[in-house]
Amino acid sequence: RWRRSSDGSPAIFSGNWRIILALTRSSVKPAFKVRLYRGEDREGLISVVNAVCAEGRWMRTRRFEPTPAWEHALANSDCPCHLLLMAIDGPRIIGWCRIFPTGEDREGEVGLGLLPPYRNQGLGTQMLRQAVQWAKTRRFSRLILTTRADNGRAICVFKSCGFTAAASNQEGWMEMALSL
């Protein structure tokens, strides 16, 4: 037998056992999406980058400081020389993954960030795997990235996608690389 609970949410009744499915709007999260950056994402993306940088630990700067590569990517969303992925929760940008060419022969630099509530859910790994596949199709020969040497969570994600430690410095940063 099917009945509705007093709050209007669906409920299932089976004999003497009652299993309630609390399917209210507040309890059902939309699926996260990963998609390419669009020009209208600019302000939302910069806001997310600023929030991650403001944590003060995982990024080299305390706020978004656009490099020429960032400016190019933000202004030219359809340029095939770079990749800029957005992690989305409903209408909200919650993270990014990017590959920008380094200027070295067929080498790309990876950057990745997620807002704190969205970490440890596989989303960073999903974005990074998509980015690595994109780099392979674009015939990149190598990807590099820099992370904090004590950022075990990120290092685990990078290693799961094939990156290995390439170098570290005394300031606590580690370079990692992936040959494609």
Query: Is 50 exceeded by the pLDDT of residue 118?
Result: yes
In this structure, CATH architecture of domain 31-179: 3-Layer(aba) Sandwich (3.40)
What does the alpha-carbon distance between residue 109 and residue 58 come to, in Å, rounded to a whole number? Answer: 16
Looking at per-residue pLDDT, the higher value among 22 and 37 belongs to: 37
pTM of the model: 0.79
| Segment 49-82, tens digit of pLDDT | 989 888 877 666 777 888 999 999 999 999 999 9
Give the residue among 176, 83, 69 at the shortest CA–CA distance from 133: 83
In what helix (H) or strand (E) does residue 49 lie, and over which residues does it extend? helix 42-54
**Residue 132 near residue 124, CB atoms below 8 Å:** no
Question: Strands across the sheet with 107-114, in order?
Answer: 33-36, 83-89, 92-101, 107-114, 142-148, 173-179, 164-168
pLDDT band at 20 (very low <50, low <70, confident <90, very high): very low
Question: Strands across the sheet with 10-14, in order?
Answer: 2-4, 10-14, 17-20
Query: Is 80 exceeded by the pLDDT of residue 108?
Result: yes
Domain chopping of the chain, boundaries:
1-28, 31-179
* DSSP line for 86-147: EEEETTEEEEEEEEEE-SSTTEEEEEEEE-GGGTTSSHHHHHHHHHHHHHHHTT--EEEEEE
| Segment 126-180, tens digit of pLDDT | 999 999 999 999 999 999 999 988 899 999 999 999 999 988 777 888 999 999 9
What lies within 8 Å, CB to CB, of 6 at 6+ separation is: none
Residue 125, pLDDT score:
96
